[in-house]
């Protein structure tokens, strides 16, 4: 499997415990050290519901979202176990949509997962 950022082959250290495990990550260790996963969660009240916002990477770095797709699974499990009645939205950026837009759609509770934590820029639109 190739790294989604640098394009090099992703190699994981093989031991007897993980010898036959499939490669699931799309990011190599060097790129992960440069752009580490730093999850953040917050609850944002809107007009008649709540937005459960989770972001995976701090700041507004421009790395490929494909590199982090293996990290979405824990968020999906969390959504299915605790927020099953909400709507699941995944966005790489929060620049093109704002809380006012989500609020005006009247979707109810929303479980929002974003790759970048650039929520402040999205609010300005």
The bridge status of strand 40-45 relative to strand 50-57 is antiparallel
Applying CB under 5 A, does 56 fall inside the site for Zn ion?
no
Q: Of the candidates 1, 2, 6, 100, which one interacts with Zn ion according to CB under 5 A?
A: 6
Which region among 1-9, 44-52, 68-76, 116-124 touches Zn ion (by CB under 5 A)? 1-9
* Cβ at position 29, least distance to Zn ion in Å: 8
Phi, psi of 83 (to 5 degrees): -125, 40
Applying CB under 5 A, does 5 fall inside the site for Zn ion?
yes
Q: Give the C-alpha separation, 85 to 19, whole Å.
A: 39
Size of the residue set binding Zn ion (CB under 5 A): 5
**Position of tokens 């415990």?**
17
Q: Of the candidates 26, 28, 46, 102, which one interacts with Zn ion according to CB under 5 A?
A: 28
Question: What is the H or E stretch that residue 115 is in?
Answer: strand 110-116
Q: Give the C-alpha separation, 74 to 78, whole Å.
A: 6
* Cβ at position 83, least distance to Zn ion in Å: 32
Where along the sequence are the contacts to Zn ion (CB under 5 A)? 3, 5-6, 28, 31
């Amino acid at each position: 499997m190739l790294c989604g950022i640098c394009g090099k082959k992703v190699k994981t250290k093989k031991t007897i415990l993980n010898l036959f495990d499939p490669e699931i990550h799309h990011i190599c260790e060097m790129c992960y050290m440069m752009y580490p996963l730093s999850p953040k969660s917050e609850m944002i009240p809107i007009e008649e519901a709540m937005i459960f916002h989770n972001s995976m990477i701090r700041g507004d770095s421009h790395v490929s979202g494909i590199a982090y797709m293996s990290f979405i699974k824990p968020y999906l499990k969390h959504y299915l176990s605790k927020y099953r009645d909400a709507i699941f939205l995944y966005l790489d950026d929060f620049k093109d949509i704002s809380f006012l837009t989500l609020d005006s759609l009247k979707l109810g509770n929303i479980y929002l997962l974003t790759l970048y934590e650039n929520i402040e820029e999205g609010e300005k639109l």
